[in-house]
Amino acid sequence: MTGHPLRLDAIELQSRRHVAMIRWYQIVLDAEVIHRDAIQCWLRTGAGTTLILVATAQAPRPREVAGIAGPAFAVSDEAALAGLCRRLERVNIYPERALRNLLATSVVYRDPDGNPVAFKALAAVVPQGATVDPLGEEIDPRGLGIAVQAQAS
């Protein structure tokens, strides 16, 4: 394998019973809440695995069912993220969108079945008491040096 090694960083679950799901996963995984707002809750286990629970009823986009929304893979920094995206571009795989908030910069692709797959450069430090926009701002992936597939009109 060439390039930067990847590791599974997080699993995002859509949840209908959001509060009950948070509590259950805290207990079952012995996980701590590292971020929580009306839409999402990030839980981290002692081993460093992140589980992101997204409230189906509160999400700003259609969420019909509970379940896994898609895997998220972490890279070391934005330079590594841009390098990965350029490598995928060379084989005609283009991102659907890119987002940035205080927690991470994410580039989202769709697998052949249409499932979202995210690659994230996690923030090194989140300022104490900072307000985090749960979804962040949509950014132009070209700002990271990443081409975007032309959208058919």
Q: Rounding to the nearest 10 degrees, give the CA dihedral for residues 55, 107, 47, 123.
A: -100
Q: What is the mean pLDDT of residues 50-69?
A: 70
**Does residue 151 belong to any structural domain of this protein?**
no
The tens digit of pLDDT for each residue in 84-124 reads 888 888 888 899 999 888 888 899 988 876 778 888 888 87
Q: What is the mean pLDDT of residues 119-136?
A: 78
Residue 78 above 80 pLDDT? yes
**Does residue 149 belong to any structural domain of this protein?**
no
- The CATH number of residue 119's host domain is 3.10.180.10
Residue 24 above 90 pLDDT? no
| Domains held by the chain: number | 1
**Does residue 1 belong to any structural domain of this protein?**
no
pTM of the model: 0.60
Residue 118 half-sphere exposure toward CB, CA atoms < 13 A: 21
**Does residue 105 belong to any structural domain of this protein?**
yes
User: Domain span at residue 30?
Assistant: 7-127+134-144
